[in-house]
């Protein structure tokens, strides 16, 4: 059973400067909820009960966000806004243990995941990158866990990407393809258009066996001085079956400005309390 999830949130968020200078990128809201909360809710709804944030001292507001705030709570109750209390401290958070581990240097996603070893130990676990936002009937992480429960192998979420954008992603070389999953033969981080082994790119949800930690420890820094999770998975594939799940649903890349704005518009148009006004505004602008 997958009960623990790692959320790496220590990145510099350079694409969102200056907004991300004092506010973590992961705390930027899509409408009224910070990005990181969408990922935490997805994890909890998929059965996770321990959330491990890999964070940095500058990102203390993430910890504050998930701690109870009794002062605001009592003010809301006094002013008759009980409904808002539920929004402030969603009930689903009550049985969850949150851990916060500092990544001293931003040495890449692989290094961030390795920081969770002291808590995960030899359990298999999930990784969610909060800047990828997913919406589907059955959540992206639940789709991965369905496959993991059956196969007990690592499973990575993937989706098809226009080849001209392939250089931005980890890309898999597919082996056998069944209607449920793809056997991964190889995986490369940010290949050029010419070298990309397919048009199937990794997106920010993973279920990994604990053996990934040994592979992360042996992974060298890349040319940008980062330890890439993709490189450790590439090494894992040589020893264990690693599967890909062709994710069914919507995905917004909120680590980029276009994706962030796209998600904001899409969610605003679905929010009954504001959608009519937003439609009018969009019509006016166009």
Among 79-87, 128-136, 178-186, 189-197, the segment contacting ligand UTP (CB under 6 A): 128-136
Tell me the per-residue interface mask from 129 to 158 with ligand UTP, x by CB under 6 A, - otherwise: xxx---------------------------
CA atoms in the 13 A half-sphere facing the CB of 28: 24
Minimum distance of ligand UTP from residue 100's CB (angstroms): 12
Secondary structure string (H, E, C) spanning 175-226: EEECCCCEEEEEEEECCCCCCCCCCEEEEEEEEECCCHHHHHHCCCCCCCCC
Minimum distance of ligand UTP from residue 10's CB (angstroms): 3
Minimum distance of ligand UTP from residue 214's CB (angstroms): 20
- Residue with the CB atom nearest ligand UTP in the bound state: 11
- Nearest CA to 199 out of 240, 232, 239, 158 is that of 158
Q: Which alpha helices (DSSP H) does the chain contain, by range? A: 35-45, 60-66, 70-78, 82-88, 109-114, 117-120, 140-151, 212-217, 229-237, 257-270, 275-285
61 binds ligand UTP (CB under 6 A): no
CB of 34 or CB of 130, closer to ligand UTP: 130
Minimum distance of ligand UTP from residue 89's CB (angstroms): 24
Burial 35-49 (b: 16+ CB within 10 A, else e): bbbbbbebbbebebe
Binder of ligand UTP out of 23, 89, 107, 264 (CB under 6 A): 107
CB atoms closer than 10 angstroms to residue 275: 13
CB of 178 or CB of 224, closer to ligand UTP: 224
Tell me the per-residue interface mask from 9 to 48 with ligand UTP, x by CB under 6 A, - otherwise: xxxxxxx---------x-----------------------
CB of 25 or CB of 205, closer to ligand UTP: 25
CB of 14 or CB of 273, closer to ligand UTP: 14
CA distances 30 to 9, 94, 165, 264, Å, are 17, 23, 24, 5
Binder of ligand UTP out of 40, 54, 187, 207 (CB under 6 A): 54
Secondary structure (3-state) at 51: strand
Residue 238 CA to residue 161 CA, distance in Å, equals 25
CB of 117 or CB of 131, closer to ligand UTP: 131
Residues at the site binding ligand UTP, with contacts judged by CB under 6 A: 8-15, 25, 54, 103, 106-109, 111-112, 129-131, 255
């Amino acid at each position: 059973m997958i009960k623990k999830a790692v959320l790496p949130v220590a990145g510099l968020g350079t694409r969102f400067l200056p907004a991300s200078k004092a506010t973590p990128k992961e705390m930027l809201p899509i409408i009224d909820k910070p990005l990181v909360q969408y990922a935490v809710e997805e994890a909890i709804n998929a059965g996770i009960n321990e959330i491990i944030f890999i964070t940095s001292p500058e990102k203390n507001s993430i910890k504050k966000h998930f701690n109870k705030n009794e002062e605001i709570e009592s003010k809301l109750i006094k002013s008759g806004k009980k409904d808002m209390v539920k929004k402030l401290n969603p009930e689903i958070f009550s049985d969850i243990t949150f851990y916060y581990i500092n990544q001293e240097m931003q040495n890449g996603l692989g290094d961030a995941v390795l920081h969770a070893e002291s808590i995960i130990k030899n359990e298999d676990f999930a990784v969610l990158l909060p800047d990828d936002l997913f919406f589907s009937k059955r959540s992206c992480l639940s789709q991965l866990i369905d496959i993991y429960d059956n196969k007990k192998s690592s499973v990575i979420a993937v989706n098809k990407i226009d080849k001209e954008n392939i250089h931005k992603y980890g890309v898999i070389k597919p082996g056998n393809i069944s209607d449920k999953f793809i056997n991964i033969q190889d995986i490369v981080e940010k290949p050029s258009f010419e070298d990309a082994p397919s048009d199937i790119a990794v997106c920010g949800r993973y279920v990994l066996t604990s053996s990934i930690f040994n592979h992360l420890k042996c992974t060298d820094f890349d040319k940008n001085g980062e330890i890439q999770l993709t490189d450790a998975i590439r090494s894992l594939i040589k020893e264990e079956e690693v599967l890909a799940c062709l994710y069914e649903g919507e995905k917004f890349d909120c680590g980029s400005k276009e994706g962030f704005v796209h998600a904001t518009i899409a969610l605003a148009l679905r929010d009954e309390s504001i959608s009519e006004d937003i439609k009018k505004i969009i019509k006016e602008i166009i």
